[in-house]
Amino acid sequence: MKTNKIIYLDHAATTPLDPRVLEAMQPYFTEDFGNPSSFHSVGMRAKDAVAEARGTVARLLGGHEDEILFTSGGTESDNLAVMGVPRYWHEKNGVLPHVITSAVEHYAVLEPLIAMDRKKEIELTIVGVSREGQISVEEVMSAIKSNTVLISIMTANNEIGTIQPIAELGREILKYRKLHATTFPYLHTDACQATGFLDLNVEKTHVDLLTLNGSKMYGPKGVGVLYVRRGVKVQPMFIGGGQEKNLRSGTENVPGIIGLAKAFELVQAEREVESARLSTLRDRLAQGLLSIPKTILNGHPKERLPNSVNISFIDIEGEAAVLYLDAQGIMVSTGSACASTSLDPSHVILATGLSYEAAHGSIRFTLGHSTTEEDVDFVLRVMPAIVERLRLMSPANLDMKYFA
């Protein structure tokens, strides 16, 4: 059952560039290559193009152009939000700022916050999640203190696909601010994984800061967005030429910015049709995989991204499974400790209350534009044999009652 076809099911890691995006970017490498800060017409053309891209992103988010910052990607946007807000506030007020986040956030949010907490730059509350990976809005709200400046909760999880009740949280925060006549806390959300699937209009979700990443939306790598609502102050990390309203110095990545705007436009326009198509494939894949004995679905059964299937295959180790799947041309990822540089299993799967063993055997399949029904059926054909073979090699034989 050998095939030469590559079945790429790792779209949460990164997406291929949409050819339409490449086309939009192309002129900005060699023809309109100018520096937007220059005062000649070559520079002006680049400046106009960036302005137009900014307008597109603003419109799609339901915000204003002056609220859009272009960055180098999701990590920078997340860092700038979670480090920049408390630092600015601290400098202004001299009081220790308090930040609330969740245990399943991306490391680009968790790591800087944990480091700042350790250095006593902030006070940090990390709320847990349900077995399905969802935060409780009530729990977040009751963690708010007088010095809470920021709440950072992702829109949808990159590992298990669980969608968080961001709009509900946004509404509650708004109520809280009104009641206490304060502008804090702000709400930041990392929406990288949700970009192609959900409505990210900030007027509907009431978020104050929002992270996007070009490389998760069929756009280029190395470019991202941080939406920063008017009035929200962040301390910059890059200091220099004063680009991006002094908040992010450095010559603009013009082709990247053009590409991100184009990609964002395309995925948002096709969002509903693609979500419906992928949901069907997702459910077919999940159902088929769950018919293999000793398997558990990670993430929320319903409130889950249309492209996300994460399954724990008990008694096997994920890295080995990933490599066996790779040999069949199927590209996936795992939450196994063995596959991580730190040798720690997925913090997301552990946060949902599952054991090390379940995190070890977790495999993430994330679907995308290229995914077809044949792809799904091919995975369903080869997976049982791979699991069976690895289980034969494994000394583990855990009772499923521990995973109920």
Partner 1 sequence: MQGDVIAKKEDKGWFYTDTVKEHFFHPKNFLEDEAAYGDAYLGMVGSPACGDAMKVYLKIEKDADGLERIKDFKWKTFGCASAIAATSMLSVMVTEHGGMLLEEALKLRPQDIMLRLGGLPARKIHCSVLGDKALRSAVNDYYRKSGQIDKISLEAGRVIDHVLKITDHDIEEAVLEGADTLEKVQARTKVGTGDPSCIPEVENLIRFYKEKYFGA
Which stretches of the chain bind partner 1, using CB under 8 A? 315-317, 319-320, 323-324, 327, 336-339, 341, 343, 345, 356-357, 360, 392-396
Nearest CB to partner 1, comparing residues 114 and 167: 114
Q: Considering the complex, what minimum distance in angstroms separates the CB of residue 309 from partner 1?
A: 22
Place of tokens 């859009």: 68
Min dist CB 387 to ligand FES, Å, is: 18
Name the residue nearer to partner 1 (CB basis): 202 or 358. Answer: 358
Given the complex with partner 1, which of 186 and 313 has the nearer CB atom? Answer: 313
Catalytic residue among 95, 239, 276, 338: 338
- Asked if 192 is an active-site residue, the reply is no
Q: How far apart are CA 93 and CA 97, in angstroms?
A: 9
Q: Determine if the peptide bond prior to 185 is cis (ω within 30°).
A: yes
356: partner contacted, choices partner 1, ligand FES, none (Cβ within 5-8 A by kind): partner 1
Choose among ligand FES, partner 1, none what residue 94 binds, the Cβ cut-off being 5 to 8 Å by kind: none
* C-alpha–C-alpha distance, residues 291 and 73, integer Å: 38
- Which residues of the shown chain bind ligand FES in the complex (CB under 6 A)? 337-338
CB of 168 to partner 1, least distance (A): 37
d(CA 76, CA 238) in angstroms, rounded, equals 10
Nearer residue to ligand FES within complex by CB, 290 or 338: 338
Non-local CB neighbours of 227 within 8 Å, separated by 6+ positions: 57, 61, 63, 67, 68, 69, 202, 207, 209, 210, 211, 212
Quote the least distance from Cβ 338 to ligand FES, whole Å: 3
Pick 338 or 396: Cβ nearer ligand FES: 338
The minimum distance between CB 51 and partner 1, in angstroms, equals: 39
Q: Which residue is nearest to ligand FES (CB)?
A: 338
Compute the distance between CA of residue 394 and CA of residue 404 in angstroms, rounded to an integer: 22
> From ligand FES, partner 1, none, which one binds at residue 392 (CB under 5 to 8 Å depending on kind)?
partner 1
Q: How far is the CB of 337 from ligand FES (least distance, A)?
A: 6
Q: Name the minimum Å distance from CB 360 to ligand FES.
A: 8
Residue placing its CB nearer to ligand FES in the complex, 316 or 379 = 316
* Residue 396 near which of ligand FES, partner 1, none (CB within 5-8 Å, type-dependent): partner 1
Q: Which of 392, 384, 382, 373 is nearest to 330 (CA)?
A: 382
Minimum separation from the CB atom of position 299 to ligand FES (A):
24
Of 324 and 365, the one with the shorter C-beta distance to partner 1 is 324
Nearer to ligand FES, 239 or 396 (CB): 396
Active site residues: 338
